[in-house]
Chain A
Amino acid sequence: MARDEVVILGVGMHPWGKWGQNFVEYGVAAARAALADAGVAWTDIQFVSGACTMRCGYPGYVAGATFAQALGWNGARIASSYAACASGSMALEAARAQIRSGRCDVALVVGADTTPKGFLAPQAGERPNDPDWLRFRLLGATNPTYFALYARRRMDLYGTTERDIAEVRVKNAQHGFTNPYARYRQELTVDAVLASNMVADPLRLLEICATSDGGAAVVVASADYARKKGVTSGVKIAAVSTVTPSYPSDQIEMPDFATDSWAVVPRPGHAFRDSVARAAYEEAGLGPEDMSLAEVYDLSSAMELDWYEQLGLAEAGEGERLLHDGVTRLGGRCPVNTSGGLACFGEAVPAQALAQVCEVTWQLRGTAGPRQVKNAKTGITANQGLFGHGSSVILTR
Chain B
Amino acid sequence: MSTDKPKVPAVEGWFESNGPNPHLIGGQCEKCGTISFPREKSFCKNPSCDSTSFRAVPLSQRGTIWSYTNACYKPPAPYVASDPYVPFGIAAVELEKEGMVVMGQLAHGVRVEDVRVGMEVELVVETLFATEEKELLVWKWKPVAS
Contacts and interface: CB of A to CB of B under 8 A. Distances in A.
Contact of A250 (B37, B47, B101, B117): B101
Chain B CB within 10 Å, residue with most, of A141, A152, A197, A261: A261
Contacts of B102: 257-259
Interface residues of B, number: 46
Interface in A69-119: 118-119
B138 interface: yes
- Chain A residues touching B, range: 35 or more
Contact of A265 (B11, B46, B112, B128): B46
Given A140-B81, A258-B37, A201 B97 contact: no
A149 B117 CA distance: 10
Contact of B72 (A197, A252, A258): A197
Given A145-B69, A145-B90, A138 B117 contact: no
A152 B67 contact: yes
A41 interface: no
B101 A152 contact: no
B99 A263 contact: yes
Given A139-B105, A140-B79, A201 B72 contact: yes
Given A121-B76, A138-B138, A261 B81 contact: no
A124 B76 CA distance: 11
A153 interface: yes
B70 interface: yes
A259 B101 contact: yes
Interface of B: 10-11, 32-38, 45-48, 66-73, 75-81, 88, 90, 92, 97-105, 112, 116-118, 128, 138
Contacts of B35: 261, 263-264
Contacts of B75: 119, 136, 140-142
A297 interface: no
B46 A149 contact: no
B34 A264 contact: yes
Contact of A263 (B67, B97, B118): B97
B72 A138 contact: no
A230 interface: no
A200 B70 contact: yes
Contact of B90 (A140, A199, A262): A140
A198 B77 contact: no
Interface in A154-189: 156-157
Contact of B128 (A124, A138, A257): A138
Nearest to A262: B99
B79 A137 contact: yes
B71 A261 contact: no
B117 A141 contact: no
B100 A262 contact: yes
Contacts of A134: 11
A264 B100 CA distance: 11
Given A153-B117, A197-B72, A247 B104 contact: no
Chain B CB within 10 Å, residue with most, of A134, A152, A262: A152
Given A136-B78, A142-B76, A252 B98 contact: no
A122 B107 CA distance: 25
B67 A150 contact: yes
Given A248-B45, A252-B92, A265-B34, A157 B101 contact: no
A366 B49 CA distance: 51
Contacts of A149: 66-69, 90, 92
A315 interface: no
B103 A263 contact: no
Nearest to B97: A263
Contacts of B11: 128, 134, 137-138
Nearest to B88: A140
Nearest to A197: B72
B117 to A, nearest CB: 4
Contacts of A202: 69
A260 interface: yes
A105 B31 CA distance: 49
A133 interface: yes
A247 B77 contact: no
A300 to B, nearest CB: 11
Given A140-B79, A248-B46, A250-B101, 13 more contacts: A139-B103, A140-B71, A142-B71, A149-B69, A200-B71, A202-B69, A247-B47, A250-B100, A252-B66, A252-B92, A257-B38, A262-B99, A264-B46
A375 to B, nearest CB: 40
A148 interface: yes
B35 to A, nearest CB: 4
A199 B101 contact: no
